[in-house]
Structure 1
Amino acid sequence: MADRAVGIPIVKEGIPFVGMTGGITLLSGMMGWMIPAVIAGGFTLFTAWFFRNPHRVIPQGPNLVVASGDGKVIAIEEEFEPRYLKERSIRLTIFLNVFDVHVNRIPCEGIIEDVQYQPGLFLVASKPEATLKNEQNALMIRTAEGMKVLCVQVAGLIARRIVCWVSPKDRAVRGERYGLIRFGSRMDTFLPLGTKLRVAVGDRVKGGETIVGELQ
């Protein structure tokens, strides 16, 4: 699987938004409308910042699981996952606010067995009920040892578009970029019971770089 976003300062999906607001800024300036130009310029800078695509140093080592997104860990719960895994697992939830990097990253090595999109609501992403009710896209990964890891992009109140660049049978490469959500969202990673966790609720994490656990 090619990491299509490597080396680009913003993700490709953000270019039309930056171009549109940048065009409005330029046009307003040419017309002498300074207040609209300043406002549009601010939106242009924010949009470019939102779609930023930073380089990350991916940790190496067997069975490591990294954060699937940037943000704050708001929940670590042992629960039954009824839709895809159909078994008890550990749900680790990362909330991404509008100022966090929104490029999503693959948490572990393996093979992508399935990708499933689920339409749904746009509840505030930090609410527990968003786990099952919100629009989302699930990525099922099976490791070489046969363990199953589920990574779910969950849309939020402001987020209205989930983007996923991978397909079933692709190789899952730890830390590789695989999609994004705009504009504000959360990432759920469901890990096997017994996973040794390296983070706690309240921790800030970086996608692809922060080790959140070790598969046992």
Structure 2
Amino acid sequence: MIHKEGITFLLYALIILLLLILFSFFLFSRFIFFSILIFLIIHYIFLIFFFRNPKRNFSEKNYKKKEIVISPADGKIVEIQKIFEKEFLKKNCICISIFMSPFNVHVNRFPISGKVIYVKYHTGKYLIAWFKKASLNNERTTIVVETNKKNKVLFRQIAGFIARRIIIYAKKNAIVKKGDEFGFIKFGSRVDVLLPLNSIILIKKGEKVTGGETKISIIPS
């Protein structure tokens, strides 16, 4: 299934690809033409692969008494650390950083159910996403969800060196469900999740996670 953010992009890319193939056919030798053709087809297949949107389902029926936090993105855990969050929570938190390479699914999903109480977009730079200072200097969004048990979970979409467009669907005061889409980042990026200090971390640095499925933390009642 192709994500809605990719449909228009893929259509324009297909038109450009067909024009390039046409020009190549008339301008170059047969060998060069077939080389260009193969390159363009592989490139277009990668674009289709990038905008894939697989279905993800997380069943909470076995975890009703626990607040399970799931991964908001596909990727690799690059950092788990205690930091002071100064934009909204203004307290020490556990920060889990997930790096998404261009080969990962780039759909972002709510890690927890509850009410959206804060949404903010920040302009910024395009440093390499796994740099620590990228979380404060890069283009990014900040979203905070308050759970039914009044715990606040903050998460950020952070643009990377290649990423040049962050899309966010989250709206303030909306009631959201864990696993639903809250945004999309194009071509490589990072998502940070900031949790209460008493959270039980279920993953470790270097581990690969699946957005909408992998359990990354339990917030005690």
TM-score w.r.t. length of structure 2 = 0.90
Per-residue deviation, residues 128-173 of structure 1 (Å, max 9, x unmatched): 1111111100111001111110010000101010001120011121
> Could you give the per-residue CA deviations for residues 4-42 of structure 1, whole angstroms, max 9, x where no partner exists?
xxxxx1111111221122223334445634433332222
SS at match of 1:47: helix
Aligned match of 1:169 in 151, 154, 173?
173
Bigger shift: residues 63-72 or 168-177: 168-177
5+ residue gaps, structure 2: 26-32
| 2: CA distance, partners of 1:103 / 1:191 | 21
- Pick from 3, 8, 13 the counterpart of residue 5 of structure 2: 13
Q: Aligned residue for 1:58?
A: 58
Which residue type is aligned with residue 16 of structure 1? T
Question: Which amino acid in 2 is paired with 1:102?
Answer: H
Query: Aligned-pair distance for 1:177?
Result: 1.2
Partner of 1:158: 162
User: 1:15–1:191: structure 2 CA closer, same or farther, 3 Å change rule?
Assistant: same
Separation in 1 of the partners of 2:178 and 2:81?
23
Once the two structures are superposed, residues 50-104 of structure 1 have per-residue CA deviations (whole angstroms, 9 ceiling, x without a partner) of 1110011213123110001000001111111011111111000000011000000
Measure the CA separation in 2 of the matches of 1:185 and 1:27.
31
- Relative to structure 1, the CA distance from residue 59 to residue 210 in structure 2 (aligned partners, 3 Å threshold; closer, same or farther) is farther
Q: CA RMSD in A?
A: 1.3
- Match for residue 5 of structure 1? none
Distance 1:28 1:118, change over 3 A: closer
Larger Rg: 2
User: Which of residues 178, 192, 196 in structure 2 aligns to 1:192?
Assistant: 196
Paired amino acid for 1:99: F
Is the CA contact (8 Å cut-off) linking 1:64 and 1:211 kept in structure 2?
Answer: yes
Q: Which moved more, 1:58-67 or 1:158-167?
A: 58-67
Which is further off, 49-58 or 22-31?
A: 22-31
Task: Give the structure 1 partner of residue 43 of structure 2.
Answer: 43
Shift of 1:175: 0.8
Separation (CA, whole Å) in 2 of partners of 1:172 and 1:150 = 14
Instruction: List alignment gaps of at least 5 residues for structure 1.
Output: 1-8
Instruction: Identify the match of residue 107 of structure 1 among 102, 105, 111.
Output: 111
Deviations 1:167-204 (A, max 9, x none): 00111210111111111000000001111111010110
Greater alpha carbon shift after TM alignment, 139-148 vs 10-19: 10-19
- Give the Cα separation in 2 of the matches to 1:25 and 1:181: 23
> For 1:49, what is the secondary structure of its paired residue?
helix
TM-score when normalising by structure 1:
0.92
Please, which moves more after superposition, 35-44 or 56-65? 35-44
Match of 1:87 in 2: 91
Number of residue equivalences: 208
Counterpart in 2 of 1:3? none
